[in-house]
Structure 1
């Protein structure tokens, strides 16, 4: 394109070479060419050359110099589209997409038909989801290059993303008609037709979509997608008889696809459970090795029919020894009747296998072959998992111990025993069993990861990192390598472990690492905007865009954000103080013994701090070396990636405004996780501390729309009413509109009642639910702190036999920590003892003395086992020595009994 400040032929040729060098990433050669142009006294301030020099420097990683030269070039030539374009490229490399879009628009003011600028602008617009702007830019590109395929596709997609399906389909239809020659098995054309069909389906014009598939079926390469779409369309258009042969053929192709069976049953119009089970039996006969036709009838059958189907399914699984058998049927336990039938069947199996080696007495009487010996072990494992799911810990341990006694080398048994202890509330004992399982197969990455997860649940972060280091890259710490690999399950578990231990900075660091992973995933989609358009993978591309729009709805992000918000709320309620130095302590009035203890304590603390700082410095050096090598390795592929700030735990745990930081994590949840009530309850906690009445009200309303019976919602309403009363008494009068909204909300939430009346009614209505009673007690104490004893008694007098472990832990921690009801040390100790009788295996309810005694017993048992092993080895050595001596004596006796001539000959 012509320049606003053209160069003479010699310098112009050098400038074109400079552009070529930048495209080929020959940055050093480009700098030499820029220097040649700028060395000419007439062109020392040539704006476009200065801008290109800055862009080349950015390619070499010299970011500050790059901005300096680009801004200087722009200042010298504000009307140059090249300078504005280069500035936009520089902003884009720093992920400042909004600023880059402004630069591209300024460039288009001086060169409105520049194809490269328009393409770059369209990429940023779709990245930022500026769909209206994207449509305008794609229309401009279409008018400039109507002969290019990408112009038609991008123009159509801009309307599709905006929901104008008719216009998008018309564009693609016109483009298809303009194509004259189509090669056989043209995959790009095939994908374009399937994308057009997707647009027709989304527009709800199903008949037209079906006609389109039938018309172009011969030109579509992906026959599986054609058959699936066609069968689905026939069902939706009430032409089920045409869908039956399609799904029968699909099941023959893949008899393990659950969706095919569901669609076929719809097509055959089968609604009664007996007819559905009979249909599944037909497929069992046709596909005897398929699992789906055997498992799916269990969801439909009831009563005796379910008993028969479950009997067949369980016998087959236990006979073959399928480890995830219980996982396959776990969803059936939500139906108590089905869970009872499964329990009775497996108990009969265990009894009969123990007695006769058969699953039933009938099999034994009829002379059926004996079941394999392993069937007893798998039956015991199934029963242990069943009772663990029902939270009957004693019976679960009984069966898992029986299985381990039978086959002590089966790793699945040890994993299940660890899981039982985890559900029983003893994470330490759980990790011990997982560690033993891991030691039996150190090459199994699944067991290794499971063991690390259990260690994190027991707050053993260092040990978990060591376990994970067996499968991470050498030369790099496991924590850094897992962060590079975006191993988010490990990081979320780490964050929660640090949160439980009160290491707030470390917890926040892990949360921010997870947040950066999601930001990186969103930025990585930038590479696919041109790739998918070129390769014509349009359906996958649209799916990618829609996934990225809701990416932060993922459970990993929700866990990390929830943890970060809770930590910031804790730091707001109880901010960390700087450590007390010796000068701040009144040492003059301390007795000599106390002063000596203080000096000793501080010397130990100083040594520990020096050791930790040395270790941190060493780790920092390794991290910097690793980061430097990583940057050097990626210099050619991604030289202009922005550097992220280092996450330092000490700085993170002392934020200037914790609530603002919490809001940063909260906003994505409010946008993408609206269906989860925890989002709105967390929002209320943040806004309650900010004293934002309208936002508190908004959070309450959103929470009520999700679950109006949630217990925590009641205490939110009580606290909101209390905050409203305080604001009315103390602050200036509200704006008229605000007052109107608040009056309407008050009437909607509590009517004509007072908060005390509302709380009393709530307690009376939900006296059978401990969580509702707990929130009612919170409201009682919140409204009148003098009723503390009554509030505490309300929850501690509840029948413990009706409590679940999680509920008991929640109440005990509230009493122990004193954050809800104030100081309740006596009540907490009494409640702990009562809960220990109810939940014998839960570690949180045990006394410290008991835990220490248990630890000593384990150490004694381990020492005794080691001594017994050593004694056995010593006895074996002695026996071997005695046997050797005896053999030697026999040989000597034989030699002495021989004649002298024979003995001499033998020697």
Structure 2
């Protein structure tokens, strides 16, 4: 930092001030404070602005934020024309993530010292962070003029043109820079990356011929040979040089014969006219790469008839012989094609019979060699997955028990058995078998994680944390450690489980933690803006910037945002106190008094758990404090300057006064970054409906219909919107005339007519939904909303009929939809309060369809299931073999 201000210091104090700046740059904060005290203790310079600012900056890095802000503001007030004071003020604003204010401060500093390299550099970092690209280009140009000999000045200026989409300008600058550069050695990585970056810019600009010529010219200086070949193959293909592209693609396949994309590109080049020619391509590749699995797997996607049977037979036999655990996952895509699942089942059943009888794949094939005993185990393993996928858990359990009896020490068998129970609706038994699998291999992190996931889904949070604690840092709380490590699956699973348990504050806390993690990822890119320019990782840098621009389109964020929005909408309709009051007396089989006692016990247990957690947190804080006491001073100082957000309080989150504002916070990224998602638009409709924003509701409906007009959730939104527009005396009358006119104008595009009755529109949807249980549930829900309690019996009858019809139409694979419908029926959210007889009748019908699903167990079934779980637990403790398929 240089000193330019109206408060000039004498030479002696000036030299001391320079030592303050040097101590700050070298992180010698205590020495810096001593030197600042020497200046400020002099009555003549006690209000010297720049010294006050530097002292405040040093204190901020020592964790004394309040005192730092006071000093910096005081220094700035005393010297408004100081470049240093404004720069320090901007640094503190940047540390607080107030980037707009920081940029204003930097610009004020540049008014007094326009050629300050450090301030210009800091300003450029903020501009690219905020994607103010025009300003970023201008700032990088100033830096280039000041330091034309620096590599980062040229690259940063060229990068600014690239981000703005000016490819010709980018290439012109880079070519000018390359004229002054030569590779420092034969293996100059940075020069190689610069050349490949120029190629990527040419590709984006559509300059295929120029890119290919550039690759050929600089081929000897490029180190990333695989990427070079991929680009060359693509360019030759686009330029019509198919034979050359084919040669390169075959070279790539030789390097990585398991890359599915390479085979697809080779097929595009050769353009086979039918299955016979396509098969000839793969037959040739098999000769070249006899050990590769992909040339044997891919033909199964397009072959049919006897050829398909022959190829699948060979593929399965080789895989079973090798013992490939993921075989079913590799061929699972074939099950979407009619008839291929039956062929696979017939072949595998034949293998099982032959292997059990004679130890070979075929009894009539004496030439085939005898198979090892493990082959039969993997055949059973495959069959169990096959039956589970088709919704036949009893057969799946019977087969997997045979495998466990044969080889009781194989971890995968217990994991699969747990998965079968979970898919069948018995998460409790699934947890026990995953615990057994984990006990067989305690070093398997994956099995441990799956076991913890199942425990979380079963609502057994403390037990899940115990399992997760086996692979987290010693001395830390497992849940907090995973949250700090941004373990998204853990946070989203916990949020969903807490929501099911009615602990809405905890659920919202996990959702907000996910949001904070994504915000941290956006903030973390700040450190890479200068690093990537120095290290010349330019292609990765551009990819990172584009990823950050759409980061919140990630499925993890979508899941957390949807959970949070649903929870906030529910809290808007019924605040937490109302939910607590309504839940008393609604527990199945409990009187109001018993329900109150149960809730009292639950509150006490929750309080005890919270006290234990607080105690553990205090112990952990003490350990961390002791550890930090032994760290080096500058490490502790840098940690103290880190940005810290306010701790999340579950109780405060659940009792927010503005739940809809919080919901909108989660909603905006979904609408902006997931514009092609029907679910995002429907979520938007629900939020804007609660906020009474008809035009925003209309926008969401129009967008959703353009994406998927047949989506059942969209139908629900349309019916509710139609009911609102039909209320001429209420909602429509309260709208402004221009709003009302715009809605009326778009009604035909949504409903085909401006005068459709909501009931008729929904009845037509129900008529089309015959045989589709999910659509039927949505239609019946809306029928009850439109017609009221008088339609309850008709809705129940229609739901029962849909279940009866679904039993012959594959409803066994729709456990989740049936479970959700039953939960909403039981809670009164679907058709209002249902009498016990009708509810029990429906439960019995569902239990017949899903005999393993605990959601549909009667009290007798639940007691028997509890006894079975106790038996499993005792077997795990005693190390016995499980064989409980008919429990």
Q: Give me the whole-angstrom Cα distance separating, in 2, the residues matched to 1:489 and 1:241.
A: 46
Aligned to 1:619: 616
Where do residues 578-593 of structure 1 align in structure 2 (5 Å cutoff)?
none
Aligned to 2:507: 507
Moved more, 340-349 or 608-617: 608-617
Aligned to 2:588: none
Question: Structure 1 residues 533, 657: closer, same or farther in 2, change over 3 A?
Answer: same
Superposed CA offset, 1:437-460 (max 9, x none): 111111211111111111112121
Q: Note the residue ranges of structure 1 that are not aligned, 5 or more in a row.
A: 586-593, 870-907
User: Is structure 2 residue 719 aligned with structure 1 residue 715?
Assistant: no
1:834 to 845, 849, 871: 845
Aligned to 1:167: 169
Moved more, 150-159 or 597-606: 597-606
Superposed CA offset, 1:662-720 (max 9, x none): 11111111112222222112112211211211111122122212211001211211111
Aligned to 1:824: 834
Aligned to 1:229: 231
SS at match of 2:482: helix
Aligned to 2:823: 813
Q: Give me the whole-angstrom Cα distance separating, in 2, the residues matched to 1:226 and 1:595.
A: 73
- How far residue 411 of structure 1 moved from its aligned partner, in angstroms, is 1.4
User: Is structure 2 residue 475 aligned with structure 1 residue 475?
Assistant: yes
Aligned to 2:217: 215
Superposed CA offset, 1:815-836 (max 9, x none): 1111132112343322111111
Q: Give me the whole-angstrom Cα distance separating, in 1, the residues matched to 2:537 and 2:328.
A: 40
Where do residues 436-447 of structure 1 align in structure 2 (5 Å cutoff)?
436-447=436-447
- How far residue 251 of structure 1 moved from its aligned partner, in angstroms, is 2.2
- How far residue 467 of structure 1 moved from its aligned partner, in angstroms, is 0.9
Where do residues 27-426 of structure 1 align in structure 2 (5 Å cutoff)?
27-179=29-181, 183-364=185-366, 367-426=367-426
What value does the CA root-mean-square deviation take over the aligned residues?
2.7
Question: Structure 1 residues 631, 819: closer, same or farther in 2, change over 3 A?
Answer: farther
Q: Give me the whole-angstrom Cα distance separating, in 1, the residues matched to 2:128 and 2:627.
A: 30
Aligned to 2:856: 845
Q: Give me the whole-angstrom Cα distance separating, in 1, the residues matched to 2:529 and 2:595.
A: 64
Q: Give me the whole-angstrom Cα distance separating, in 1, the residues matched to 2:611 and 2:695.
A: 50
Where do residues 697-776 of structure 1 align in structure 2 (5 Å cutoff)?
697-726=698-727, 728-729=729-730, 734-750=735-751, 751=753, 752-776=755-779
Moved more, 63-72 or 739-748: 739-748
Question: Structure 1 residues 595, 580: closer, same or farther in 2, change over 3 A?
Answer: same
Q: Give me the whole-angstrom Cα distance separating, in 2, the residues matched to 1:623 and 1:125.
A: 39
Q: Give me the whole-angstrom Cα distance separating, in 2, the residues matched to 1:462 and 1:858.
A: 19
Moved more, 719-728 or 150-159: 719-728
- How far residue 860 of structure 1 moved from its aligned partner, in angstroms, is 7.0
Q: Give me the whole-angstrom Cα distance separating, in 2, the residues matched to 1:687 and 1:598.
A: 36
Superposed CA offset, 1:330-364 (max 9, x none): 11111122222211111111111122221123323
SS at match of 2:469: helix
Question: Structure 1 residues 56, 375: closer, same or farther in 2, change over 3 A?
Answer: same
Q: Give me the whole-angstrom Cα distance separating, in 2, the residues matched to 1:605 and 1:457.
A: 19
- How far residue 120 of structure 1 moved from its aligned partner, in angstroms, is 0.2
Question: Structure 1 residues 114, 728: closer, same or farther in 2, change over 3 A?
Answer: farther
Question: Structure 1 residues 612, 400: closer, same or farther in 2, change over 3 A?
Answer: closer
- How far residue 220 of structure 1 moved from its aligned partner, in angstroms, is 1.9
SS at match of 1:806: helix
Which of the pair has the greater relative contact order for Cα pairs under 8 Å at 6+ separation? 2
Moved more, 735-744 or 89-98: 735-744
- How far residue 302 of structure 1 moved from its aligned partner, in angstroms, is 2.3
SS at match of 2:161: helix
Aligned to 2:453: 453
- How far residue 95 of structure 1 moved from its aligned partner, in angstroms, is 1.6
Q: Give me the whole-angstrom Cα distance separating, in 2, the residues matched to 1:72 and 1:269.
A: 74
Question: Structure 1 residues 868, 215: closer, same or farther in 2, change over 3 A?
Answer: closer
Superposed CA offset, 1:776-814 (max 9, x none): 222222222132322332222212403222222132122
1:790 to 779, 790, 794: 794
Question: Structure 1 residues 443, 868: closer, same or farther in 2, change over 3 A?
Answer: closer
- How far residue 637 of structure 1 moved from its aligned partner, in angstroms, is 4.1
Q: Give me the whole-angstrom Cα distance separating, in 2, the residues matched to 1:602 and 1:498.
A: 16
Q: Give me the whole-angstrom Cα distance separating, in 1, the residues matched to 2:227 and 2:527.
A: 26
1:235–1:266 CA contact under 8 A, matched in 2: no
Using the size of structure 2 for normalisation, the TM-score is 0.92
Aligned to 1:488: 488
Q: Give me the whole-angstrom Cα distance separating, in 2, the residues matched to 1:866 and 1:217.
A: 64
Moved more, 786-795 or 453-462: 786-795
Aligned to 1:900: none
Q: Give me the whole-angstrom Cα distance separating, in 2, the residues matched to 1:607 and 1:737.
A: 56
Q: Give me the whole-angstrom Cα distance separating, in 2, the residues matched to 1:142 and 1:858.
A: 71
Q: Give me the whole-angstrom Cα distance separating, in 2, the residues matched to 1:602 and 1:429.
A: 26
Q: Give me the whole-angstrom Cα distance separating, in 1, the residues matched to 2:793 and 2:424.
A: 30
1:495–1:510 CA contact under 8 A, matched in 2: yes
Question: Structure 1 residues 555, 392: closer, same or farther in 2, change over 3 A?
Answer: same
- How far residue 534 of structure 1 moved from its aligned partner, in angstroms, is 0.4
Where do residues 546-625 of structure 1 align in structure 2 (5 Å cutoff)?
546-577=546-577, 611-612=608-609, 614-625=611-622
SS at match of 1:296: helix
- How far residue 76 of structure 1 moved from its aligned partner, in angstroms, is 0.7
Q: Give me the whole-angstrom Cα distance separating, in 2, the residues matched to 1:328 and 1:54.
A: 61
Question: Structure 1 residues 473, 337: closer, same or farther in 2, change over 3 A?
Answer: same
- How far residue 601 of structure 1 moved from its aligned partner, in angstroms, is 8.9
Q: Give me the whole-angstrom Cα distance separating, in 2, the residues matched to 1:688 and 1:348.
A: 58
Q: Give me the whole-angstrom Cα distance separating, in 1, the residues matched to 2:600 and 2:834.
A: 36
Q: Give me the whole-angstrom Cα distance separating, in 1, the residues matched to 2:871 and 2:406.
A: 26
Q: Give me the whole-angstrom Cα distance separating, in 1, the residues matched to 2:109 and 2:879.
A: 84
SS at match of 2:339: helix
1:816–1:825 CA contact under 8 A, matched in 2: no
1:693–1:724 CA contact under 8 A, matched in 2: no
Q: Give me the whole-angstrom Cα distance separating, in 2, the residues matched to 1:518 and 1:595.
A: 44
- How far residue 600 of structure 1 moved from its aligned partner, in angstroms, is 9.2
Q: Give me the whole-angstrom Cα distance separating, in 2, the residues matched to 1:265 and 1:151.
A: 44
1:326–1:385 CA contact under 8 A, matched in 2: yes
Q: How many residues align?
A: 856
Q: Give me the whole-angstrom Cα distance separating, in 1, the residues matched to 2:712 and 2:119.
A: 56
Using the size of structure 1 for normalisation, the TM-score is 0.90
Question: Structure 1 residues 484, 59: closer, same or farther in 2, change over 3 A?
Answer: same
1:498–1:506 CA contact under 8 A, matched in 2: yes
Moved more, 505-514 or 120-129: 505-514
- How far residue 185 of structure 1 moved from its aligned partner, in angstroms, is 2.5
- How far residue 25 of structure 1 moved from its aligned partner, in angstroms, is 0.4
Question: Structure 1 residues 768, 82: closer, same or farther in 2, change over 3 A?
Answer: same
2:63–2:637 CA contact under 8 A, matched in 1: no
Which structure has the larger Rg? Answer: 1
Q: Give me the whole-angstrom Cα distance separating, in 2, the residues matched to 1:580 and 1:772.
A: 31
Q: Give me the whole-angstrom Cα distance separating, in 1, the residues matched to 2:879 and 2:436.
A: 20
- How far residue 742 of structure 1 moved from its aligned partner, in angstroms, is 0.8
Q: Give me the whole-angstrom Cα distance separating, in 1, the residues matched to 2:501 and 2:648.
A: 19
Superposed CA offset, 1:43-93 (max 9, x none): 111111111110010111111111000000111111111111100101111
Moved more, 429-438 or 854-863: 854-863
- How far residue 432 of structure 1 moved from its aligned partner, in angstroms, is 1.2
Q: Give me the whole-angstrom Cα distance separating, in 2, the residues matched to 1:731 and 1:265.
A: 58
Question: Structure 1 residues 841, 733: closer, same or farther in 2, change over 3 A?
Answer: closer
2:4–2:113 CA contact under 8 A, matched in 1: no
Superposed CA offset, 1:3-47 (max 9, x none): 122211111111111111000000111111111111222211111
SS at match of 2:730: helix
SS at match of 1:340: helix
